[in-house]
Amino acid sequence: MNKNKEKRILIKLSGESLMGDGNYGITLKTVDKIAKDLFSLKKLNVQLCIVIGGGNIFRGLAASAKGMDRANADYMGMLATVMNSLAMQNALEKLKLDTRVMSAFPIQSICETYIRRRAIRHMEKGRIVICAAGTGNPYFSTDTAASLRAAELKCSYIYKATQVDGIYSKDPKKSKSAKKYKNISYNKYLSDNLEVMDSSAISVARENNIPIRIFSVLEKNCFKNAFNKKINYSEISNV
């Protein structure tokens, strides 16, 4: 076992990370690549759970802004996360990894309903738990769902794999003056109104003292290298 303290890690993946070079939906080649990277991390004898967003299929907040009822739009977004979770389960099981998809609301014909103690037991038995359907409630992002699951499943770290290699003061794709933070406190992140994760997610992580490591999902072996600190990343914690 690596000497690092990360023994049970929650991986937060954006729905967009499953698109690959596409503009919409799921690219199976990309999902397979992410699954292989997760396999490399699992081989380090780490317990894993995963929360995946649904923005590659449907964004509830965007639909609400266009006039759709917010609750209905968010429920549709939650269903999109279930589709992404099943795609990831398929890719992981092709690598002979044992997985369980657990939905925040009952969809008994295709996956288990989320039960905290059962999820912990699955991880203790070496299974990867994929938490689908967010919190099961509208008005909450999958970032917030990730922090909530990390807290109740007693995860020692949250790894957010995104499209950039950390946290910047401004959008690095739009501003050359953007400053990258290697380490930043929860309070400074909130006071500076940074947007890599929403404020509710950061507040839950702060209250439960769960550090958040943010790095690019585009790099090969990103999860293993994040674990071994051999990748460019930013970290939010009580620094």
CB atoms within 10 A of CB 132: 33
Nearest alpha-carbon partner for 153 in 89, 200, 208:
208
Task: Examine the pLDDT at 151 and tell me if it is beyond 70.
Answer: yes
Q: Is residue 3 part of a domain?
A: no
Q: Please write the tens of the pLDDT for every residue from 152-162.
A: 999 999 999 99
- CA-based max dimension of the chain: 51
Range of the domain at 142: 8-237
Q: Please write the tens of the pLDDT for every residue from 79-108.
A: 999 999 999 999 999 999 999 999 999 999
Q: Is residue 18 part of a domain?
A: yes
Look up residue 166 and give its two tokens: 């950390």
145-163 burial, b for 16+ CB within 10 Å, e for fewer?
Answer: bbbbbbbebebbbbbbbbe
> What's the first-to-final CA gap in the chain, in angstroms?
26
Q: Is residue 2 part of a domain?
A: no
Mean pLDDT, range 23-48, rounded to an integer: 96
What percentage of the chain reaches a pLDDT higher than 90?
84
CA–centroid distance for 48 within its chain: 11
Mean pLDDT, range 21-33, rounded to an integer: 93
What pLDDT was estimated at residue 176? Answer: 81
Task: Examine the pLDDT at 220 and tell me if it is beyond 60.
Answer: yes
User: For residues 7 and 44, is the Cβ–Cβ distance under 8 A?
Assistant: no
| Mean pLDDT of all residues belonging to the chain | 93
pLDDT category at 6 given cuts 50, 70, 90 is low
Task: Examine the pLDDT at 121 and tell me if it is beyond 70.
Answer: yes
Task: Examine the pLDDT at 14 and tell me if it is beyond 80.
Answer: yes
Task: Examine the pLDDT at 70 and tell me if it is beyond 70.
Answer: yes
Task: Examine the pLDDT at 3 and tell me if it is beyond 50.
Answer: no
Q: Is residue 14 part of a domain?
A: yes
Mean pLDDT, range 144-169, rounded to an integer: 96
Mean pLDDT, range 51-74, rounded to an integer: 89
Q: Is residue 224 part of a domain?
A: yes
**The residue type at 69:** D
Task: Examine the pLDDT at 197 and tell me if it is beyond 70.
Answer: yes
Lowest mean pLDDT among 9-13, 32-36, 39-43, 169-173: 169-173
Please tell me the total count of domains within the chain: 1
Q: Which residue has the tokens 């995946």?
A: 52
Q: Is residue 1 part of a domain?
A: no
CATH number of the domain bearing residue 209: 3.40.1160.10
Q: Is residue 181 part of a domain?
A: yes
Q: Which residue has the tokens 């959008």?
A: 171
What pLDDT was estimated at residue 239? Answer: 81
Q: Is residue 170 part of a domain?
A: yes
